[in-house]
Structure 1
């Protein structure tokens, strides 16, 4: 299996993370990439550096206004007297129709949903190459049937004009739209422990991309405001979004049962390519402790996806530092390859 990764993705090194009112080390640390890279290599992946596909596929998903923000905000922020090293919002608009601000503080609140997506001088370049990694894997999957994109920072919490939850550019959405522009009919299958709220938001009023997410019930789990079973799409997209929230602590059997439902919906959509938003944080030892999928469970999840018989792009999302992270990726990739 081909895999793609660019070392420039490690340059983003967030220092700020808050949980329950405490400032903690960010779980989305660069060493995640090292662990995942070793996990991919252990599965026999041939790792390549992605070529530059340009900004156009990114701009097909994210607004020019937002991309300008990502590229310029850090310099503007640091120019303010007394500014910290990272762009971190502390005030937010009541809704997205309020006035568009001109100050760096106001812009941060408008374009960053929470404090888990601090922006440094290196963030834009890391996110850019993360997106290029997903684009390269989508091209390879059409030729080879499957490819793995080691995307870091991850992407599925990023909306078209809003960062959040460690995410800046929505890699899975960018890959899916790239494939759709080639005349394909993509389905995005999100298996991260957290709901892919940004992905849902991007395609919520569209019928040409199916979005399906299996995740811990957001009633008591991030992202809280999205991911409920009643969210089915809107307008032209009504019926093209499926959320399958699971009770906290659900293990292999419950996850596989939800996956069967998800794959049935993908079949009914007549998708001819699947973009998997591959979170490994549903594992029982992941720091977020939402679900209790085992390492062997990831192999079974991968085998079920492979059985759908569609070209598949594996786009890395969550999965945080633990003794099992690398092994979980290896087992997933081995499971997809029938080992």
Structure 2
């Protein structure tokens, strides 16, 4: 099994996020990927390689040019205002307001955000860009006939969607995405919901009570299962925040349950790319992620 990894994920380490009315230390932290990498090496699962640079083009196939321009330049604008703390939004276009894009930094930040859990820091853009290159490098290996596993990245760019679109752009006709993270894959669903070339399915907590609240209800499910969709390749958004000791989720899976999950995924018999996502019981994240990912 090939693992693609970048140390650039260390460049993003937010100081705080807004939870339950308080600014709390971020649950997303560089040590998450470090634990997974250590587990990969301990189990001697195969080579670990850095990503190659596929440029901004594949990212722009999924994300709008306006958003990417904003994201790349946000930190410099924040510094120009004399600030050096985490950049977090505090205003959003609510239901009673017009959805127009303001010109000021804070207005644009609220326009492009839907929560205050994703701070922008000095290294956030580079960390997110490199994480996308991790996914694209793994995608290229699968496209050329290799088996691959990939980890890294936060949620500023949708690495699963970027990889899925790259498969399509390189000749695949049908791609399936399976999101097993505790929280609904709202961004991935929004990108592919009206398209027949990507089948997206998500296993997640009920959004009536769980983040992200506004997407992921039962009436949004697709008509066919992955195995009847006849996908040529599978992308797995691998979140292990369904673990019983996860501090921000409510599922109660044991480590052994991820082994069963991995076996079910392997039984699909598809070339499979794993993109590492949630999981905040940090000490166990390597164990759970690797038992989810069939070699």
1:121 and 1:174 map into 2 onto residues whose CA distance is: 23
Matched-pair contact (CA < 8 Å) for 1:145–1:312:
no
1:141 and 1:120 map into 2 onto residues whose CA distance is: 32
1:289 and 1:231 map into 2 onto residues whose CA distance is: 22
Secondary structure at 1:220's aligned position in 2?
coil
Match for 1:190 among 170, 173, 179?
Answer: 179
How far 1:299 sits from its partner (Å)?
Answer: 0.8
Alignment partner of 1:307 is 2:261: no
1:293 and 1:17 map into 2 onto residues whose CA distance is: 26
1:111 and 1:319 map into 2 onto residues whose CA distance is: 24
Secondary structure at 2:164's aligned position in 1?
helix
Alignment partner of 1:19 is 2:19: yes
Secondary structure at 2:228's aligned position in 1?
helix
Q: What RMSD, in angstroms, separates the aligned Cα atoms of the two structures?
A: 1.7
In the alignment, what sits opposite 1:270?
A: 230
How far 1:144 sits from its partner (Å)?
Answer: 5.1
1:285 and 1:16 map into 2 onto residues whose CA distance is: 21
Matched-pair contact (CA < 8 Å) for 1:170–1:198:
yes
Answer 1 or 2: higher relative contact order, Cα 8 Å, separation at least 6: 2
Q: Give the stretch that moved more between structures: 321-330 or 109-118.
A: 321-330
Secondary structure at 2:176's aligned position in 1?
strand
In the alignment, what sits opposite 1:254?
A: none
Match for 1:212 among 188, 198, 201?
Answer: 201
Matched-pair contact (CA < 8 Å) for 2:238–2:289:
no
1:62 and 1:306 map into 2 onto residues whose CA distance is: 30
Structure 1 regions of 5+ residues with no counterpart? 154-166, 233-240, 243-263
In the alignment, what sits opposite 1:89?
A: 89
How far 1:118 sits from its partner (Å)?
Answer: 0.8
In the alignment, what sits opposite 2:119?
A: 118
In the alignment, what sits opposite 1:225?
A: 214
Relative to structure 1, the CA distance from residue 45 to residue 221 in structure 2 (aligned partners, 3 Å threshold; closer, same or farther) is: farther
Q: Give the stretch that moved more between structures: 1-10 or 135-144.
A: 135-144
Write the mapping of 1:30-69 to structure 2, written as runs, cut at 5 A. Answer: 30-43=30-43, 44-69=45-70
Q: 1:206-239 deviations in whole A, cap 9, x for unaligned?
A: 121111000111111111111111114xxxxxxx
1:3 and 1:26 map into 2 onto residues whose CA distance is: 26
Relative to structure 1, the CA distance from residue 265 to residue 97 in structure 2 (aligned partners, 3 Å threshold; closer, same or farther) is: farther
In the alignment, what sits opposite 1:291?
A: 251
1:295 and 1:283 map into 2 onto residues whose CA distance is: 7
2:229 and 2:146 map into 1 onto residues whose CA distance is: 19
Alignment partner of 1:138 is 2:126: no
Equivalences, count: 292
1:322 and 1:206 map into 2 onto residues whose CA distance is: 36
Alignment partner of 1:328 is 2:292: no
Matched-pair contact (CA < 8 Å) for 2:150–2:273:
yes
1:150 and 1:218 map into 2 onto residues whose CA distance is: 26
Secondary structure at 2:73's aligned position in 1?
helix
In the alignment, what sits opposite 2:7?
A: 7
1:143 and 1:294 map into 2 onto residues whose CA distance is: 35
Return the TM-score normalized by structure 2.
Answer: 0.94
In the alignment, what sits opposite 1:251?
A: none
Match for 2:163 among 148, 162, 175?
Answer: 175
Return the TM-score normalized by structure 1.
Answer: 0.82
Matched-pair contact (CA < 8 Å) for 2:243–2:252:
yes
In the alignment, what sits opposite 2:130?
A: 129
How far 1:269 sits from its partner (Å)?
Answer: 1.6
Match for 1:318 among 239, 258, 278?
Answer: 278
Matched-pair contact (CA < 8 Å) for 1:145–1:310:
no
Q: Give the stretch that moved more between structures: 144-153 or 57-66.
A: 144-153
